Amino acid sequence: MDSILVTGNGPLSGQIPIAGAKNACLTLMPATLLSEEPLTLTNAPRLSDIRTMTELLQSLGAEVSGLQDGQVLAMSSHDVNNHVADYDIVRKMRASNLVLGPMLARLGHAVVSLPGGCAIGARPMDLHVHGLEALGAEIELRDGYLHAKAPGGLKGAVINFSFASVGATENVMMAATLAKGTTVLKNAAREPEIVDLATCLRKMGAQIDGDGTSEITIQGVDRLHGATHPVVTDRIELGTYMLAPAIAGGEVELLGGRIDLVGAFCEKLDAVGVAVEETEKGLKVSRRGDQIAAVNVATEPFPGFPTDLQAQMMALLCTANGTSVLEERIFENRFMHAPELVRMGAQIDVQGGTATVTGVDRLKGAPVMATDLRASVSLILAALAAEGETVVNRVYHLDRGYENVERKLQAVGAKIERIKSR
């Protein structure tokens, strides 16, 4: 397996372009199953997860091409000839379950394996199933597969989610676009990826209101047509690279960055002593002083602090002046990066869903192992501020969510390289 070698090299300076959002693109791609006409996505990130979703859609009979230098994905589902999403593909990635709602809505039946992905908690499918059953679907779990059918078609309903699940909101919203009547999603997720999906679906002819709020209304239509849609900026990649100059020092401009995508995150950066300035091209980030202040962080659904930036924020707080408390409220088992940061000299005490981080003067390079996608990049960030060399192993996780991470950090002065496996 490949590894990443990072040598602490002082302050960073320059520009980093931010890609289209992985999580948004993985949601937009299954929307092609809702229509016979082509769906084209621009600003699509070139990531292994996108290739996995491409493989899944192609296995169902969809045509998917593109992702050349123009970062364009051209898709067509005019001849979907398979309704089984096989375990061998679905196990690779949690977002694979998002084909369930579209297939059920357009084809009337679907068989989808229970999904896999990073080992950061159970993330069950119960809210997805609850929402689709409320629309009239009949769903049975057999041999690790969800067998779903809607013999009478889907019908609008009022659905009150017990938790503001992003995936369940996306799956049910897509299904509801072709249901008969009106669907109201209460306690819906509010993430920018939800808004981006709704915007794309409206371009395809869907009637959706309230996205970005906790109540979304969908008036079902008979059919959807083709569209072209740009994928929204990746707020998690944005937040990750905003932390690079915060940890290593210097000043970096994030091209395409938007404060509205990372508002709660920016509030915490301000509290620790990091300045974020809007520019014509994006956001400029720099440290105000020599030291970072301690701060408490609790992850919450959007617009709160993102769980997908918790590991990266922990890396920053490892060198803060004082003690910080990070509380993980979204996923269980999401502090697996903490022992690896401890190998680099960090002082972290994990008790259940809470991590107490006492800042140290300096981290030290060490061999560490990535346990999931965001843990991978948190270790790279920590290594930017560490003395000596850090080798991050098992970085295949990294390639699922970060495009050209070495090249982007090299461009702002980081000493980082990929070591290819033999």
Could you give the residue numbers annotated as active site?
118
User: Is 97 annotated among the ligand-binding residues?
Assistant: no
| β 12-17/250-255 pair status | parallel
CB neighbours of 383 closer than 8 A, spacing ≥ 6?
6, 7, 8, 344, 363, 365, 390, 392, 416
User: Is 125 annotated among the ligand-binding residues?
Assistant: yes
Residue 4 CA to residue 384 CA, distance in Å, equals 12
User: Is 127 annotated among the ligand-binding residues?
Assistant: yes
SS3 416: strand
Helices (H) and strands (E) in the chain, counts: 13, 26
- Per the listing, tokens 């959706």 go with 208
H or E element, residue 274: strand 274-278
User: Is 209 annotated among the ligand-binding residues?
Assistant: no
User: Is 123 annotated among the ligand-binding residues?
Assistant: yes
Residue 257 CA to residue 361 CA, distance in Å, equals 31
Closest to 37 in 3D by CA, of 72, 81, 74: 74
Nearest 5°: the CA angle 208, 212, 217 is: 30
User: Is 308 annotated among the ligand-binding residues?
Assistant: yes
User: Is 92 annotated among the ligand-binding residues?
Assistant: no
User: Is 187 annotated among the ligand-binding residues?
Assistant: no
Closest to 392 in 3D by CA, of 345, 344, 357: 344
Instruction: Please name every residue paired with 113 in a beta bridge, in sequence order, or none if there are none.
Output: 145
Annotated binding site: 22-23, 94, 123-127, 308, 330
Annotated binding site for UDP-N-acetyl-alpha-D-glucosamine: 94, 123-127, 308, 330
Annotated binding site for phosphoenolpyruvate: 22-23
